[in-house]
Chain A
Amino acid sequence: MFSKILPTVFLLSIMSFSVAADANLSNYRSTIIELVNDGYYFSVVPWMKDYLVKHNGQLDSGTEAAFDKLISHTGVKVFESLPENVLSRSRSPNIRYILAKRMMKKGKFQNALGELKGVSGDHPSYPFIAHMMGTIYGSLNENDSAISAFKDCIRTSDYRMGKVDTTLQREQLEANRDYCVAGVARSQFAQKDYKKAELTYLDIPKDSFVWPEILFEEAWTSYYEKNYNRTLGKLVSYKAPVFDFIFKPEVEVLKSLTYLKMCLYDDAKKTADEFYTGLLSSSKDLRSFLMNHGKNYGYYFSLMADHEAKRPAQSEMIDHILRSVSKDAAFLEMKGGLAGAMHELTKVKQMQNNRTSDSLERNLQTVVEEYRFAIGAYVRAGLVSKYAELYNAFQSMSYIKLEVLALKKDRLYQTETNASGKRGDVKYIERNDKQYFWNFNGEFWADELGDYVFALRSEC
């Protein structure tokens, strides 16, 4: 390892004297490629960015290859802050991915597609590219194209899984594939083909990283299929301890809404009331917490670090949300990047102390800071997002409650209520051929999750 680094060190020493000169930009390129090849992925990130800024025109194939390799270890996050004109100099699919993501965020779906369409199916990033294309088509309500892209994504993700080196990469591809399965189901849902969507959702294995999240979508699908007992059954799975990391206020909203649809007004109202009772105070605290800390990302990084070190946060709700964020793929990717950078720093620090090692160390510290910053920002975004979900959920609960009250009132105005009738009966359960009837008895078994159904009779 030591000998390998020598040329690089040599080159760096030269570069430090003429780094600004165009004539020496090729040397700079060689050094970057050399360092990437030597596995100093995180150390070279600042220089790679610098090179991308200074280099006019398209990247040559050697540099592109090094850049791809670099991103496959660091992820795209550290390059997302580069200006678009700089990023567009690269033909790298990874750079196109970043560009497309930005455009998509701006709603420039066609531009985003334009960037992505040129990427070859063989490229290692293609499964993610296809995923994004499916998402963009979905946003454009071009559901057939979306399904096609998502299926492409599924196929290429499966293919790429056999070719990656690390578990992290494999897991990323697995998650990507499952999201794309969900993407297909969502597109079918958007086409109002609920039955098909429901079946497609069932293709996501229960041990998938994405399944807990998708379970909620399955519940919605059942809801739209008017299979309210199944909706309730799917939602009750979230009560399982194994899902304690899930923080999803909408689960309760959908549950209440389902009761409402079944004219079980007292249940609907009770769910809404319990939601308010259980979460209103914590929500207010969360709002204060976010207001107090503003955009102090360092604080949020520390918050997450403390959380991972099992130190409890200010409230159970914050802990719950942190637990949820910590399971996010994006968070895990950044966390992996940070770990990689830290590992590389240790390695550089073990090097002989000279100008080169100093330069690399400085680079790494910059990168580490960037990761911390990004993680902190992500954690905050997670908290803000959950607060927004709570906010919306409270509103939804209020509307549901109002609807319940209005309907109850309407009954008083119109006709006498007939509340008689038995609750819970097998005949009210609707099944499809991928589902089996499980009678929930208050205990959760891992393999039963998502398969529970309720047997409540609609009182409408």
Chain B
Amino acid sequence: MLKSLLLFLLVSQAAFGERLSLDSRRKKIISIVDEELAEVSRLARQQDYKSPDTLLRVAELNLEKARLWREAENEQYLSIPPEERVNLRKNEYFKTSVSFFQAANDSAMVVAKKFPNYKLIGEVYYILAYNSRELGKGDESLRFFKVAAAKASPKSAVGARARLALADIYFNSHEFREAIPLYEQGLSNMDEKWWTKDSFNLAWSYYRTKQYDKAITKMREIHRKSENSKYINMKSNVERDIGIFYVDAGRMNEAVKFYESQGINYTEQFIKVATSIITQGRLSQAESLLDQVVKKETNRGRKIEIYMAQLELFDKFSKIAEHLKVAQELVALHVEKPLNEDQLRKLSFHVNKKAAELQKATASDTYSSMAKVKKQKSQQAIAYFELSSQLSPGEKAEKTFFQGETAYAATSFVKALNLYIKAHDAAKKDGNKKIVTQSLEGMLSALGQPGLSKASADKFYIPVYTRYLANDGKSERAKSIYVKLFNAQYDSGDIEAAERTLEQFAEQNPDDYKTQEGMLAKVMEYYRSRKNYVKVKEYVTLINKGQFKVSDKYADALRSLMTKIQIEGVQESLEKGEKGVALKGYHMIYTSADSTPKAKTNAAYNLSALYYELGDGQQSYQWGLIAAKDMEEAEVNKFADSFLSISAGLFLRQQFAQSADLSYRVLTKLCKQSSINKTVAFKNAVYISLANGDLDKAVEIKDFGKSCSIEDKVLADVTLEILRDMARAKKWDRYEATISELEKNPKNHALLIKPYEDYRKELINIGELTQAKSIETKQFSFFNDARKNKQDVPVEGLDIIAQKHIRIILDKKHKIDQVALRFPESEFNTGVKFKLQILDKLTNEVNTVQKTGSGKGIVEAYKYVIEAYEDFAYSLKEFVPEGKSPEYLASFNKAMADVYNPILSNAQKQREEIRKLINENKILSRSNFAVLYPRDDNEKRYVPSKEVVLMDRGGKK
């Protein structure tokens, strides 16, 4: 019984290969399997699951059921349209079969685990392996097949099948060395219909491991056995593949013999072999095979067949170079003697297809970053088009045009242009208007490519434009072509041709002034540059006669040209050093009625410069004014340096008013311009006006400067300068207004300490003490704000603030001086005590001054403090109480020494301190002398008279 069950498994596997014809039949079978499962399950229970046979049977039945369901599921799944199938979860459709495969696995696994020594354990593992394979568990399947092969006797059916299954796995994963012994063992123990099929894999395994002789022997055995209906007929497969085996074994002749013995046309067979293996993706073998066959073949017809097969092969695997070579061979054969209709059709198809594909590839972006590849593809495409034209001589022009297009796509514009011209000329000859037009379009496009070098383009402009205009002389486009042709001719120096083109254009487009003007300008410029003024004048005459129609503007331009010609002469005189001639020339231009305003302005400017060089400031100033007035703002900006130089020159020549005026005129022109010279002109104008004592002019220029976006700082600097002059001129009302204006900007506050001091002093002079006090408060406030905001305060500002504190020191010092020391003793003591207290406060005040940062103030403060200390100390030392005994006096002097000595020491210490400060900070102050030298030397100083000036000794700096 058991034996029959196991046999069933093996039989059913084989039977399974045959598709169940009817769904109802499958249902019936499943119903029976269900019954069997129920019965076997009952049996297993009855046997308390101790019979491995029964459990194995459970596994087998589940496996069978799984397979039946899998087939039904497959049918259902495959019945879904592919586009819908893509979006489905495939697993969902195979759930049922998977569950039965799993159930089969579970049962088999129970047997494997519980009955490791079971006599049919090999079969159990075979089921496990089979199931794993169905469940897509490749590794597990392999493992189980290995165990099955190890456990089952090699002579048993399962043993053989397990080995063959394993061999198939290795075969499919290309592990042919592992597959071979398994196939050999499996096949040696079975002789059923699949023998030929499995042996075929073995033969291939031999072949893959380069055991060609064995492979061929096995193939021949399969071929022989396939005659017997007992076996699967593998004859055609053998005949298909044995060729390649022979070829690779270097036994080509035997292959020929084999095929001949079978009555098979070997060329046809080899082509068949090649075609067949091509479909398997074995390109190199097919290639090698056909290559050898074609070498061997001498018959023209068969050779063509082989070439045709090669064409297919190389086409399929995109071996373009090889494909092209074969195509060339075939075209050569065709040229020699025409191919038959079918062959020619196929060849033409291949050639045209490849040409088109390659052309497309060349034009695509795919190879945009691979210049070499792109170039190669274009060359191949061109070669194919060449072949195509040979196959279809009537389409030569069109094919050449395509070649041009391909070269164009590959950015080989020179090549493209040559081909377009060739195509154009051929098409023109054939009367093919379409290609004439298309090739002209191609030429124009190629010419317009930036990738085309100028030198190359230059070569093609004329042949291309000439061809174009021969085809189309009147269109809008033709107009531009005329211009281009004209330019090309002009640029190549062929002025006569350019003039002809101009004439033709004028003839074709009499109303197109603009283009005619452009061409005329060039022609006239050509002659002008060559000083052929005769020719220029001829053209002017022709224009005036109306042969060439030009606009008024152009007429002006012509006049300008004439002026330019004149200026050119003046310029030459200047270069030669003939300044007088030049001056004359410029005067003439300025006064000529023919001169354009621009030429006049140009002349005015040059006259200003020329007079400046000649040292005639007045003339230079005059012409400078004219030039600055007539020039555009941008032009003034352009020549601003020169204008300012002229202005500076005027200043140096003491012509302050002219200098300031010229700067002011320049400023007015630069006012809205962005220029660094604008500030220079502004400052120059103000300062020179001040220098010239023209305060009102300076204020006017300063006020104008506000509208010219002059920097605030520059404006402030200039205003402070004006303030000084106002103070000097005692114009206190304007002074106050100006300072108030500056005060509006907090950034200016620190700068205003000094101007306010000047104003404050004036107020005190006129008795306006309250306002003066208020200003002083403002000064302190500006100083403190500046400190707080870390703004710089001008040194004179610092000194002013310091002086205000020194005033307090002086007050206190004065208080000390006012108290006289005298006896009686109690009064003396009170006086000393008072003076010591004031001295202490004085010392604190010095710190305040020190904080102002005024070098002069610090030195002065120290000076007063040191004086106060020393004065006090010496007054103690020199004090002699009246009417006292010598003892008392001795005692008094001793006691006083203890007081004045430390005070003197302290004064000396302060002298050291201030010395250090002076040296470190390089303070130069009138009080330096008083503090740097001892009291006794104070008077030994040289005080120069008021008018003395220090000499600059110069020397190396």
Which residues of A pack against B, CB within 8 Å? 391, 394-395, 398-399, 401-403, 405-406, 408-410, 412-414
Contacts and interface: CB of A to CB of B under 8 A. Distances in A.
A429 B138 CA distance: 58
Contacts of B5: 402, 406
Contact of B1 (A399, A408, A413, A414): A399
Nearest to B25: A412
Interface in B1-36: 1, 4-5, 8, 12, 15, 25, 28-29, 32-33, 35-36
17 contacts: A391-B46, A399-B43, A402-B1, A402-B36, A402-B39, A402-B43, A403-B1, A405-B32, A405-B33, A406-B5, A406-B8, A406-B36, A408-B32, A409-B32, A409-B33, A410-B8, A412-B28
Contact of B40 (A402, A409, A414): A402
Contacts of B424: none
A405 B5 CA distance: 11
A37 B42 CA distance: 61
Nearest to B12: A413
Contact of B32 (A395, A398, A412): A412
A155 B29 CA distance: 59
Contacts of A413: 12, 15, 29
User: Considering the complex of A and B, which 5 residue pairs feature the smallest CB-CB distances, nearest first?
Assistant: A398-B43, A409-B32, A405-B36, A399-B1, A412-B29
A403 to B, nearest CB: 7
B32 A414 contact: no
Nearest to B44: A398
Given A399-B1, A413-B12, A405 B29 contact: no
A412 B57 CA distance: 20
B288 interface: no
A408 B12 CA distance: 13
Contacts of B36: 402, 405-406, 409
Contacts of A405: 32-33, 35-36, 39
Contact of A398 (B8, B12, B33, B39): B39
Interface in B30-78: 32-33, 35-36, 39-40, 42-43, 46-47, 57
Contacts of A410: 8
A412 B46 CA distance: 29
Contacts of A403: 1, 4
A399 B28 CA distance: 20
Contacts of B8: 406, 410
Contacts of B35: 401, 405
Contacts of A399: 1, 43
Contacts of B29: 409, 412-413
B56 to A, nearest CB: 13
A406 B43 CA distance: 15
Nearest to A405: B36
Contacts of A408: 32
A402 B46 contact: no
Contacts of A391: 46
Nearest to B20: A413
Interface string B438-472: 00000000000000000000000000000000000
Given A406-B4, A406-B8, A395 B28 contact: no
A410 B33 CA distance: 11
B5 to A, nearest CB: 7
A315 B57 CA distance: 35
Given A405-B32, A406-B8, A409-B32, A395 B43 contact: yes
Given A395-B47, A408-B32, 7 more contacts: A394-B46, A402-B36, A403-B4, A405-B32, A405-B35, A406-B36, A412-B28
A406 B35 CA distance: 10
Contacts of B32: 405, 408-409, 412
A410 B12 CA distance: 9
A396 to B, nearest CB: 9
A394 B44 CA distance: 12
Interface string B786-819: 0000000000000000000000000000000000
Contacts of B1: 399, 402-403
A414 B15 contact: yes
Nearest to B7: A406
A398 B46 CA distance: 10
Nearest to A414: B15
Contacts of B12: 413
A368 B8 CA distance: 59
A402 B15 contact: no
A409 B29 CA distance: 6
B408 to A, nearest CB: 69
B15 A401 contact: no
A251 B12 CA distance: 33
A414 B29 CA distance: 11
A447 to B, nearest CB: 38
B27 to A, nearest CB: 10
Given A401-B39, A405-B32, A412-B32, A395 B4 contact: no
Interface string B598-617: 00000000000000000000
A394 B45 CA distance: 12
A402 B37 CA distance: 9
Nearest to A276: B42
Contacts of B25: 412
A399 B39 CA distance: 8
Contacts of A395: 43, 46-47
A394 B40 CA distance: 12
A413 B4 CA distance: 16
A5 B392 CA distance: 145
A309 to B, nearest CB: 35
Nearest to B43: A398
Contact of B42 (A398, A409, A412, A414): A398
B57 A402 contact: yes
A390 B217 CA distance: 61
B59 to A, nearest CB: 14
B777 to A, nearest CB: 122
Nearest to B53: A399
Contacts of A412: 25, 28-29, 32
A399 B47 CA distance: 13
Contacts of B28: 412
Give the one of A391, A403, A413, A414 with max B CB within 10 A: A413
Nearest to B57: A402
Interface in B311-350: none
A79 B32 CA distance: 57
B799 to A, nearest CB: 124
A401 B32 CA distance: 11
A391 B25 CA distance: 35
A358 to B, nearest CB: 53
A92 B5 CA distance: 54
Contacts of B4: 403, 406
A182 B73 CA distance: 59
A398 B15 CA distance: 25
A395 B25 CA distance: 29
A115 B795 CA distance: 152
B39 to A, nearest CB: 5
A395 B47 CA distance: 9
A412 B16 CA distance: 12
A407 to B, nearest CB: 9
